[in-house]
Structure 1
Amino acid sequence: MFALVTDIAHYPDFLPWVVALRVKSDSETESVADMIVGFKGLRESFSCRVEKRRPSHVDVHYLEGPMRHLDNEWHFTPLDDGGSRVDFMVDFSFRNRLFEALAGQMFDKALRRMIAAFEERAAALYGAPA
């Protein structure tokens, strides 16, 4: 799961609303990328830095774009059956009040759709859980 989450170049292949992504730099411990997201005719781009602490932790930090801030954390814990427990936290706010209102109304639904996209991608790459 760590590999799937840190393979940001492939996000446009499976994540809803990710229209395009450009990796500006990538190393074993850090990536920097520009992402364009789109929803119902709205498009915004932003930049972020992804800190990779293999195999247990990923931090994503907002660099620039339409938001006031955006931070998210991924924590991966191995399970005895060979799977992983994945904990995810996101904290964000928009500069634009319209986007803030839209995000507030759609947040739960959007988050569930994003989680499902990661689960489907994991099943496609690694096989469905037993």
Structure 2
Amino acid sequence: MPKHAETRRLPYTPEQMFDLVADVRRYPEFLPWVSAMRVRQDDDTATVADMIVGFKGLRETFTSKVGKQRPETIHVEYVDGPLKYLHNDWRFRPDGEGGCLVDFSVDFAFKNRMFEMLAGQVFGAALRRMIGAFEERAAALYGNDRR
């Protein structure tokens, strides 16, 4: 069961990073392997969405509920799809220098043993690529300077 947690210091405000992560409709524009998003429900505190992911000829749909407490936290709850479970949390804290600390954690397991083995082989590289995609998106939206 792949799991990972880390903290990154970024030159953006907690509000900016919260807005970027909470805007799931835009994920297909910048996240690798995300081919489409279908938002079922969206308000200030929660979003329910289907994410269609394609990787090495495999295509799966995940349904998640994204709990939002602006600008501090985002908690993703797994609803349906090929996983046994998913725990994904984001926390955004001011760094005292105009930027923020982003705490990110993810823990999941697939129902299908083949998917689980594939995920284990590529998890580290895939995670680095996805985290990098969020950082690149922030730079594209907000620039590289502290705001």
Which bin holds the TM-score, normalised by the shorter protein? Answer: over 0.9
CA distance in 2, matches of 1:83, 1:109: 26
Question: Given the alignment, which residue of 88, 95, 98 partners 2:111?
Answer: 95
Give 1:37's aligned residue.
Answer: 53
Q: Comparing both chains, which one has the higher relative contact order based on Cα–Cα distances under 8 Å and sequence gaps of 6 or more?
A: 2
Give the deviation of 1:129 after TM superposition. 3.9
Which runs of 5 or more residues in structure 2 are unaligned?
A: 1-16
Match of 1:68 in 2: 84
Q: Find the residue that maps to 1:24 and give its secondary structure.
A: strand
Tell me how far apart the structure 1 counterparts of residues 131 and 137 of structure 2 sit (CA, whole Å): 10
State the aligned residue count: 130
**Aligned residue number for residue 9 of structure 2:** none
Structure 1: 4+ residue segments shifted above 2 A: none
Residue aligning to 1:15:
31
Alpha-carbon distance in 2 for matches of 1:102, 1:83: 36
Question: Aligned partner of 2:78: which letter?
Answer: Y
Q: For residues 103-118 of structure 1, what are the structure 2 equivalents within 5 Å?
A: 103-118=119-134
Q: CA deviation at 1:128?
A: 1.0
- Cα distance in 2 for partners of 1:58, 1:129 equals 24
Q: Which residue is equivalent to 2:140?
A: 124
Residues 45-68 of structure 1: CA deviation (Å, up to 9, x unaligned): 010000001111100000000110
TM-score (norm 1): 0.97
TM-score of the superposed pair, with normalisation by structure 2:
0.86
Q: Which of 47, 50, 59 is matched with 2:75 structurally?
A: 59
Unaligned runs of at least 5 residues, structure 1? none
